[in-house]
Structure 1
Amino acid sequence: MKCKNYLKLKLIKGQFIMTQRNWIGQSSPRSSTGKSALVEPLPHHISTDAIHVVFSADPQIVARFLPPGLEPLEDGRGWGMVADMMKVSVAEPEQYWRDPQRSCYTEGLVGFYCRYKGKIYRYSAFVWVDRDWSMGMGQIFGWSKRLATIHRTRINETNPGLPARKTHGLKLAGTVERHGRLVMRVDLSIDKDSVQLERLPDFEATTLLYRYIASPGPKIAEVEQLLELGFTNVNTTNIWSGQGQVHFGESENEELSQLGAVKVIEAYTYKRGWTTDTQAVLLKDYTASNI
């Protein structure tokens, strides 16, 4: 992630000449040291403690939230998630305890399963986070991240006022709010029919990303790309099924209320870890071909 810019001037025999200086950083703001960059050098090890509700919606409405060329599944399947997250950069492995504000964050997400050229993928249509550096990560890869206020139930199983998960009776909830308005709420109840699972059903689908950078001038091309990103070191544990609910609120700068009352298919709580690295593959350049 280095480039050479002619920024430093020296005066030699009455004339200014430019000398080269490294200009580094995984993201803006870049500098000669890279210290100010929002995003630390990749790869990043990520973990999540999630409340995850899978739902079915009108596929014609779901299609409005998918990039050109992607088709919703027949049942309009999607998911809403609220999670506690942690990021550990390989470049700063001690950061998680030295500076937890730069390692821990919360996230809300609404995504949809979709088809592209006959293959099923996951597409994260809307993402909300509570840290600016997580937004910077979104700009690199194409996650549509925005700042929000996010809360979720945090369980400490030693609390004598809480029902034990294994005895069935635990309830969890997560909320996303922007500009003082509720955007999404997910609920999960561990009841008598709940079971602990070995794996999370997800079609073994990989992630699609839509990366867009607007043109800043008439002679500078916009960037519009469809990317595929796989993760490594994926490990999912503590998977419990439950009874779920998801609700989308009204907001001036949000669109999910168009989905209306969705049908919940299944719901889970789980912990998952993985590694995110610069391994994205370009599937389509929208600016270079007809859609």
Structure 2
Amino acid sequence: MLKGYTLPRTPRGTSSLAPTPPWHYVGNALAVEFEASPVEAAAFMPEGLELSSGRSAAYFIEWQYTSENGEEYLDPVRSQYRETIILLSAEYKGLPVAYCPFIWVDQDISLMRGLVQGWPKQIGSTWITRSYDLPSKAAPILGPGGKFGATLSVKERRLIDAQVTLSELAASLPSPSFASAVNVRYFPELATEKHDLPAVHELVQLKSRDVKISPVWKGEATMSIFDHPYLELPDLRPVSVTAGYRFSFALTVDDLVHLCDLRTGM
């Protein structure tokens, strides 16, 4: 009998791209809160969600991950990856949620775990300024005056530049946040005459546990989204930039809330 949580399934099951949950994460995040055009942002809303405002956020995260028993962080290439996430403010049945139209990662393992959760992951290259415990001209301080940058490139084209200058501790996380994110799980059919009839098409809500958040630093920010020959992210470029943030957080994922099967409306 073949074993494994994801493909490829094999006799021992150790070759699966993503192992069986739970999945444990810890990361350093640089985030930029911005306003997108409500007209443009509304066009990205899937069936079942409505745009609540133009408030949006871009998250640039350097992650480290492990499975329940794998200790993947001892083999860092299996554990570490960088990610850029775009979140829009939305509503589901009148309740505030977040929706992700775009997300880029630099590891296939992360991409597979994301597709299982409904994150629309693609491969991209994210780079983020690091801070260290030692004072140095080569690193910003994690405090007032600390300057951080982040970039995203996709298919060798620069797509986002962001910079944040910290000034004070914040009382809350950027908005929208991951806490109430709703994703679309979608898997198409290849059979003739079924190309418009997906095998899976459903709204799901993320469900994390054991969430821990460091002190959140806040400050001024700038962010530019550049034109791209086919990616539509420039439609969401900032009308204005509200603030920037730097924080660390940890969480565990092993569950999902099914909200609606979009094929049946149930």
Q: Above 0.5 in TM-score?
A: yes
CA contact (8 A) 2:98 2:176 kept: no
The match for 2:43 is 64
CA contact (8 A) 1:49 1:272 kept: yes
Residues 135 and 105 of structure 1, relative CA distance in 2, 3 Å threshold = same
The match for 1:195 is 168
The match for 1:242 is 219
Considering only CA atoms, is the larger Rg found in Structure 1 or Structure 2?
A: 1
Q: Does structure 1 residue 32 correspond to structure 2 residue 11?
A: yes
CA contact (8 A) 2:60 2:150 kept: yes
CA deviation after TM superposition for structure 1 residue 34, in Å: 1.2
CA contact (8 A) 1:42 1:91 kept: no
Q: Does structure 1 residue 215 correspond to structure 2 residue 194?
A: no
User: How many residue pairs end up in the alignment?
Assistant: 261
The match for 1:257 is 234
Aligned-residue sequence identity (percent) comes to 28
Please point out which of 132, 153, 162 is paired with 1:156: 132
Counterparts of 2:233 and 2:193, CA distance in 1: 35
The match for 1:132 is 108
Counterparts of 1:287 and 1:164, CA distance in 2: 50
CA contact (8 A) 1:120 1:203 kept: no
Q: Could you list the per-position Cα deviations for residues 162-214 of structure 1 after superposition, in whole angstroms to 9, with x for gaps in the alignment?
A: 45333x22110111101221112221002xxx222354254784120101100
CA contact (8 A) 2:222 2:241 kept: yes
CA contact (8 A) 1:48 1:85 kept: yes
CA contact (8 A) 2:55 2:175 kept: no
TM-score for the superposition, normalised by structure 1: 0.84
Q: Does structure 1 residue 88 correspond to structure 2 residue 66?
A: yes
CA deviation after TM superposition for structure 1 residue 100, in Å: 0.7
Please list every run of 5 or more consecutive structure 2 residues that lacks an aligned counterpart in the other structure: none
Q: Which amino acid aligns with 1:107?
A: E
TM-score for the superposition, normalised by structure 2: 0.92
Counterparts of 2:44 and 2:157, CA distance in 1: 21
Identify the structure with bigger relative contact order (alpha carbons < 8 Å, sequence gap 6+): 2
Please point out which of 130, 141, 145 is paired with 2:121: 145
Residues 89 and 56 of structure 1, relative CA distance in 2, 3 Å threshold = same
CA contact (8 A) 2:174 2:245 kept: no
Please list every run of 5 or more consecutive structure 1 residues that lacks an aligned counterpart in the other structure: 1-20
